[in-house]
Amino acid sequence: VECSSADEALAAAGAGADIVLLDNLGPQELHAAAAQVKAAHPGVTVEASGGIVLGTLPQFLGPHIDVVSMGCLTHSAPALDFALRV
C-alpha cells in the first residue's frame, strides 16, 4: 500500500497490508515513520520510494527500511537501439 505519512502506513499495516511503501518522505520523516511501523507491525515490509537518486541513496538506508525503489534507474536510463536479423 502506497502511503504518504506514518499515520497512513500504520493504518495500512493494521488493516493487513504485507508491504507499505513510504512515498516522497524526507529521510528524517521516512526513518521515523518506518520505525513506528516496524515497532507496531514487525512482519510488515517497509519500502522507501519517491525522489531517491544514487547520490542521496545512503540517506534513505536504515535499519527499518527493507526495500528502496528508485525510478531514476529506468526513467533516466539511456536508450539502446538494436536490431536482430534472422
In a domain, 19, yes or no: yes
Domain that holds residue 40: 2-76
CA angle 19, 23, 60 (to 5 degrees): 90
As for how many domains the chain has, the answer is 1
In a domain, 27, yes or no: yes
In a domain, 84, yes or no: no
CATH number at residue 69: 3.20.20.70
At residue 72 the predicted structure's pLDDT band, cuts being 50, 70 and 90, is confident
Residue 4 near residue 24, CB atoms below 8 Å: yes
Q: What is the pLDDT of residues 19-46, one digit of tens each?
A: 999 999 999 999 999 999 999 999 999 9
Residue 5 near residue 40, CB atoms below 8 Å: no
In a domain, 85, yes or no: no
Task: State the Cα–Cα distance between residues 54 and 15, nearest whole angstrom.
Answer: 33
In a domain, 6, yes or no: yes
19: cell is 508491504
In a domain, 82, yes or no: no
The residue ranges of DSSP E strands in 1-86, in sequence order, are 2-3, 19-23, 45-49, 67-68
